[in-house]
Amino acid sequence: MTTTVGQLIDTFYSQPAFSEPEFSTDPRPNLSRKAWTDHFEPINRRTVYQPTKESIDGFLGPGLDTEHRPSSGIDDAGLQNRAHPPNSASEPILSEGDVDRDFYQYFEPGFRFAFTGEPFFWPRSLAGPTGPTNTAVTVDYQLTWPRQNNTLLERAIMIGELKQPFVIRESEWTTNQAPSTLTQRLQREMRGYAYHYRCPQVFVFDSVHLLVLQFRARDRENIKSPGCPVDCCVIPRHPTYQDQCTIQYALYRLAWRGWMRLSATLANGGSLPVGIGGINRVYEKWSGRPMWEVALGAYEFGQPNGYRRQFIRDQTGGLWVWVDNGGNILAYDTGNCLQ
């Protein structure tokens, strides 16, 4: 049976059509200490979001952008792509290896197939950071933008770790409960991965929950700072909350935000210099949102003259432009974002 990516990412893999996995009952999952993470601080400045579509769209999806631009078809890129739902099987999830299998069988196809055409991203497993690096740190999963198969320009859209069941202790991430040693280790580790991979869009999956983190960092070094604000959302595998979204949907939006970030900074090898009416456009590094330098060191998200950012397609692909109230193109904001 063929379906669409949009239908796949709205499927909870706990409904009667899908067998309930046998989970480990060990209340003390292991998370070994990694010496390299000692250089990174736990995550204290968290803004916690509810695991609903509206909430996810607001801090990861187009809700961040559409306050200052009209909605665009690219906001739901790839959701109409054809896909095949996974077969149902009763399988134990007792170890980290079982979590790997669970992720790649049920959850990764639900978002990755959105990015197999335009735009096109590569899934990478146990691969080091792309681009220039001097670290041996290796993350479990990353989705990268290959930039027309140019490995020199390939960069991470998002990165993630696959952990033993129950490593994500929901209350220690979403409330003021003091984090356990296990949670603090995980916090240090994910901050470290975000830093080494130069990627503020990060997730952890343990088959019971998905943990989404977004470092709202001014630059790479700011990721290391204990004062760096971090968006946080924990999505259960099962529909637990009213209007809850699926794990696949949250991963799709995390990847989409990473794409918006790189569209601003990487398309055509780097961000295009843009100025309209003597006002320069810069980018918010972690999100890719355009900002206008209305005075020295002062920035606004809305274009001061009321001009709008719009996505257009041409013979070579698609890109963001700035248009006036009549729809006339004033400036090209990015290079091709689809290849």
Q: Are residues 260 and 283 in the same domain?
A: no
Q: Quick check: is 28 in a domain?
A: no
Shared domain check, 284 and 173 = no
Query: Comparing C-alpha atoms, which of 241, 331, 273, 293 is closest to residue 55?
Result: 241
Residues 171, 118 share a domain = yes
Are residues 276 and 250 located together in one domain of the fold? no
Q: Find the angle CA(55)-CA(229)-CA(114) to the nearest 5 degrees.
A: 45
- Which stretch of DSSP H or E encloses residue 97? helix 96-102
- Report the pLDDT value the prediction gives residue 16, as an integer from 0 to 100: 44
Kindly report the length of the chain.
339
83-to-19, 108, 143 alpha-carbon distances in Å: 21, 12, 19
Cβ-contact 153, 144 below 8 angstroms: no
Residue entry with tokens 């972690």: 286
Annotate 29-45 with b (16+ C-beta within 10 A) or e (fewer): bebeeeeebeebbebee
At which of 211, 245, 265 does a domain end?
265
Q: Do 223 and 123 belong to one domain?
A: yes
Q: What is the pLDDT of residue 85?
A: 82
pLDDT for 268 equals 55
Any idea which residue has 């292991």 for tokens? Answer: 30
pLDDT at residue 215 in the model: 98
| pLDDT the model gives residue 338 | 86
Question: Which positions of the chain have pLDDT values less than 70?
Answer: 1, 14-27, 132, 148-152, 267-270
Of 265, 300, 322, the domain-final residue: 265
Query: How many CB atoms neighbour CB 187 within 10 A?
Result: 22
Domain total in the chain:
2
Task: For residues 277 and 251, state if they share a domain.
Answer: no
Is residue 116 domain-shared with residue 258, that is, in the same domain?
yes
- Report the pLDDT value the prediction gives residue 257, as an integer from 0 to 100: 97
Q: Which domain holds residue 81?
A: 3-22+34-265
The pTM of this model reads 0.93
